[in-house]
Structure 1
Amino acid sequence: MTVRDQSQGATPQEIPPAVTGVAHVIAAARYSLGGLQRLMGETAARLELVAGAGTGFLLLVLGASALQLAAFAILFALVLAVEALNTAIEVLTDRISPEWSVQAKHAKDLGSLAVALLIFSNVLCVGGILLSLFG
């Protein structure tokens, strides 16, 4: 079975057969790495990665506890996960609605809000950790 990818000029592409077991796990890991590679093409994700790694390193140097570091790491991972979902929303929105529309704007704005709320949560987490260390 073939499908035409209109974004690439209608070149037929084979749909890969379904896999199970260990092959499925390997394929899923490959898809995740592809997603990470695509996400790193986004400036916002690269900036978030640099800020998160730097903040994590700073917290480690300042003597944050293992629990504090774990809480920060979880929230930081969630920022990248939601950034990936936001990017997916943007890609799909651009695909199904290439012209400007209020619905597309709302979809993109809501994805952006989700990322912003998690970044705010990270800032609060880091603030709480710093207060516990120096307050």
Structure 2
Amino acid sequence: MQPDSQPAKPPRFSGIEHFYRSCTYTAAGLKTACKEAAFRQELLLGLVAVPLSLLLPLNGILVLLLNLCWLAVLSCELLNTAIESVVDLASPAYHELAKRAKDLGSAAVGVALTALALCWAYAFWQTLA
């Protein structure tokens, strides 16, 4: 390949082939995420929190909210890991903007965890009331 030439675009898929490939990309992403300690900890949190939400005498909407908040934490952690990977690739040396990007990704996870904690505090308050 000559230096001025562009790499060929990957083929585009549709229908069931597109769906299948999307699923394999998702599985690969989740497998990669499971190598991250924070993601594994948040998965473990869900292994406790999801069954607990179903066992407590809670309104169905509150159960849904608790579990959606947990999924939001996982989503934020996935995005944070993606941001960190891209930043490490683009800026292997220390740079203030790279630090800012990583800090903002971490803050997003922190906000999602705070929302989850507040929802659980409300759920326990409802259970005790």
Q: Cα offset for 1:20?
A: 1.1
Is contact 2:39-2:77 (8 Å) kept? Answer: yes
> Which residue pairs with 1:28 in the alignment?
22
1:70-85 matches, cutoff 5 A: 70-85=64-79
Deviates more, 1:49-58 or 1:109-118: 49-58
1:85-126 per-residue CA deviation (whole Å, 9 max, x = no partner) reads: 000000000000000110100000000000000000000000
- One-letter amino acid matched to 2:80: N
Q: Partners of 1:54 and 1:103 in 2: how far apart?
A: 37
Matched, 1:51 2:45: yes
The structure, 1 or 2, with the larger RCO (C-alpha pairs under 8 Å, 6+ apart) is 2
Is contact 2:66-2:120 (8 Å) kept? Answer: yes
- One-letter amino acid matched to 1:100: Y
Task: Give the secondary structure class of the aligned counterpart of 1:82.
Answer: helix
Q: Cα offset for 1:15?
A: 6.4
Task: Give the secondary structure class of the aligned counterpart of 2:79.
Answer: helix
- One-letter amino acid matched to 1:120: T
Deviates more, 1:120-129 or 1:44-53: 44-53
Q: 2:124 aligns with which of 118, 125, 130?
A: 130
Q: Partners of 1:75 and 1:15 in 2: how far apart?
A: 37
1:94-105 matches, cutoff 5 A: 94-105=88-99
Q: Cα offset for 1:16?
A: 4.3
**Percentage of identical aligned residues:** 33
Give runs of ≥4 in structure 1 deviating > 3 Å.
none
Q: Cα offset for 1:28?
A: 0.5
> Which residue pairs with 2:110 in the alignment?
116
- The answer to which structure has the higher strand fraction is 1
1:40-71 per-residue CA deviation (whole Å, 9 max, x = no partner) reads: 11100000111122122223222223221111
Aligned residues: 124
